[in-house]
């Protein structure tokens, strides 16, 4: 590539990125997953549009997996363990048993209706069964849900990628047909377990190290955390374990550890995940164009979408939730909220890159299915939630706390924003009763700073700077959260609650 070509590439890429960022506003406003806009942009950039030619399935496969690593890392880093803890077991069942049920139902239907051979039928089921966290939560931001339901959707989306990637890889490889089902199942379980263990070790070790090393700039913490997440994936893949299981587990541990500058880290990884999604979907839109969709591809995509959305997904949800006695209306919403996005289209590049017979047609079918049924399901989710009476989240955010280390002082600086629902408003600084050694150093109110006294009354939207020695940092944060929840009588009310 010459310097002139590089300049043109950068100019073109910057324009596409800016248009994609602006398109996010439209997607949020109308309840449309942004992936549809990015796919359309990729198609518009293709040969019959601006003339960009891209048909390297192997490169798309590699770049797609790299983008999924970032997207999964963002999912783990931004997931609050307190919200998904009670949903991990049902989410795991839905991500394993539910996926197997869904694959089987889709395979039987497309084999009977479309005449697919069993290998291609099961491959289509495996590619399309996992839900996509990015697609689900880009729409669910407008749908307040009970914590148990949103946590279950989040847990499922984070957990179902790893087993499905392994299954699609086996179905697309030469190992299919040469090994028994028991051997293949054992390989998948072994890789999942080993990947989970490696992800836990790397995530725990990364959190332990970052708690004890005061980096000289806040911007280094997001870079270090993303590096640990990528390390978890790469180390597990090198060890022939599940890299996707490892990156999600490591990111979940890092995201819930008491690390400095957590809001900064979350903002950074969210932006990086948006960049990964934009590049991923534009690339997949380009890849879809060199092989134009035929009438059979469109018909097969619609048939497979109906089989997945109206048969396989509901059956998989009902079977998976049998041990957990979930209300029927919530199960119906869970079935309808199983949006597909990046994961199915990226998985469709695996058999394409392997040169499997019929892989080109499979990619086209998956492209149609994801595009059409995301457009059908996405905008209707708020209406379905209202119809099934499952709306109304129970999460109340009353306090934002960011931590910055003070290096040589062996102390931390806590920055606290008092939100409208916090009972810190109206409390005097002296009534906080922070642990000995911790103190409120500064209050920023309406853009002005003031050094508080013991009788200074806190208000909504105040920013507090609290200095706490590192040994009592956790106790200081717990006390602030308790007062934020219960008010000045926190100690007495906590004992009674």
Q: What is the pLDDT of residues 4-18, one digit of tens each?
A: 777 777 887 788 788
C-alpha 158/C-alpha 180 separation (Å) is 28
Counting Cα atoms < 13 Å in the Cβ hemisphere of 478 gives 7
Q: Above 90 in pLDDT, residue 105?
A: yes
What are the start-end ranges of the E strands in 361-435? 399-405, 411-418
Q: Read off the tokens for 462.
A: 């105040």
Instruction: Please report which confidence band the pLDDT of residue 205 belongs to, taking 50, 70 and 90 as the band edges.
Output: very high
Instruction: Please report which confidence band the pLDDT of residue 227 belongs to, taking 50, 70 and 90 as the band edges.
Output: very high
Q: Read off the tokens for 128.
A: 């399309």
Query: What does the pLDDT average to over 407-420?
Result: 79
C-alpha 79/C-alpha 81 separation (Å) is 6
Q: Above 50 in pLDDT, residue 430?
A: yes
Q: Report pLDDT for 490.
A: 64
Q: Report pLDDT for 184.
A: 75
Instruction: Please report which confidence band the pLDDT of residue 495 belongs to, taking 50, 70 and 90 as the band edges.
Output: very low
Domains located in the chain, CATH noted: 3-388 (1.20.1530.20), 399-496 (3.30.70.1450)
What are the start-end ranges of the E strands in 451-495? 463-469
Range in 75-79, 131-135, 152-156, 407-411 with the lowest mean pLDDT: 407-411
Q: Above 90 in pLDDT, residue 234?
A: yes
Q: Structure pTM?
A: 0.73
What are the start-end ranges of the E strands in 173-279? none
Q: Report pLDDT for 285.
A: 76
Range in 239-253, 283-297, 457-471 with the lowest mean pLDDT: 283-297
Instruction: Please report which confidence band the pLDDT of residue 336 belongs to, taking 50, 70 and 90 as the band edges.
Output: very high
Q: Above 50 in pLDDT, residue 494?
A: no
pLDDT tens figures, 253-276 = 998 887 777 777 877 888 888 888
Handedness of CA 58, 61, 64, 65 (dihedral sign): negative
Element (H, E) at 359: helix 359-377
- Closest to 60 measured CA to CA, from 240, 237, 268, 291: 291
Q: Report pLDDT for 394.
A: 44
Instruction: Please report which confidence band the pLDDT of residue 113 belongs to, taking 50, 70 and 90 as the band edges.
Output: very high
Q: Report pLDDT for 313.
A: 94
The rounded mean pLDDT for the chain is: 82
- Closest to 351 measured CA to CA, from 178, 167, 479: 167
């Amino acid at each position: 590539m010459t310097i002139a070509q590089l300049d043109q590439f950068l100019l073109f890429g910057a324009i596409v990125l800016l248009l994609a960022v602006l398109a996010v506003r439209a997607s949020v406003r109308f309840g449309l997953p942004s992936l549809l806009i990015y796919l359309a942009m990729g198609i518009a950039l293709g040969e019959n549009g601006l003339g960009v030619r891209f048909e390297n399935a192997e490169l798309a496969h590699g770049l797609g997996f790299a983008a999924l690593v970032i997207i999964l890392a963002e999912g783990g880093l931004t997931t609050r363990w307190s919200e998904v803890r009670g949903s991990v077991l049902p989410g795991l069942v839905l991500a394993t048993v539910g996926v197997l049920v869904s694959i089987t139902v889709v395979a039987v239907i497309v084999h009977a209706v479309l005449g697919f051979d069993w290998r291609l039928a099961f491959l289509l089921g495996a590619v399309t069964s996992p839900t996509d966290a990015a697609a689900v939560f880009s729409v669910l931001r407008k749908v307040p849900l009970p914590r148990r339901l949103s946590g279950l959707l989040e847990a499922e989306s984070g957990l179902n990628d790893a087993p499905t990637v392994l299954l699609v890889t086996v179905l697309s490889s030469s190992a299919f047909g040469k090994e028994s089902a028991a051997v293949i199942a054992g390989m998948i379980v072994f890789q999942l377990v080993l990947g989970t263990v490696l992800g836990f070790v790397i995530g725990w070790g990364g959190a332990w190290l970052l708690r004890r090393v005061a980096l000289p700039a806040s911007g280094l913490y997001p870079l270090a955390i993303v590096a640990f997440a990528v390390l978890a994936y790469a180390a597990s893949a090198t060890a022939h374990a599940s890299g996707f299981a490892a990156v999600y587990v490591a990111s979940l541990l890092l995201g819930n550890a008491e690390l400095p500058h957590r809001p900064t880290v979350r903002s950074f990884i969210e932006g990086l995940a948006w960049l990964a999604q934009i590049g991923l979907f534009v690339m997949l839109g380009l890849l879809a164009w060199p092989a134009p969709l035929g009438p059979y591809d469109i018909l097969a995509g619609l048939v497979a979408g109906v089989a997945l959305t109206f048969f396989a997904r509901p059956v998989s949800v009902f079977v998976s939730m049998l041990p957990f006695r979930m209300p029927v209306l919530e199960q119906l919403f869970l079935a309808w909220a199983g949006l597909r996005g990046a994961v199915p289209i990226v998985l469709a590049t695996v058999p394409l890159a392997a040169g499997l017979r019929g892989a080109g047609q499979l990619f086209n079918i998956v492209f149609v299915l994801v595009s059409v049924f995301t457009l059908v399901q996405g905008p209707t989710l708020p209406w379905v939630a209202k119809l099934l009476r499952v709306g109304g989240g129970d999460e109340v955010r009353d306090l934002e706390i960011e931590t910055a280390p003070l290096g040589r002082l062996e102390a931390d600086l806590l920055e606290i924003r008092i939100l409208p629902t916090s009972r810190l408003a109206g409390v005097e600084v002296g009534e906080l009763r922070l642990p000995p050694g911790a103190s409120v150093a500064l209050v920023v109110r309406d853009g002005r700073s003031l050094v508080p006294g013991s009788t200074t009354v806190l208000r909504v939207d105040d920013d507090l700077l609290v200095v706490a020695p590192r040994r009592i940092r956790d106790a200081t944060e717990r006390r602030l959260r308790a007062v934020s929840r219960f008010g000045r009588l926190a100690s007495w009310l906590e004992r009674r609650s």
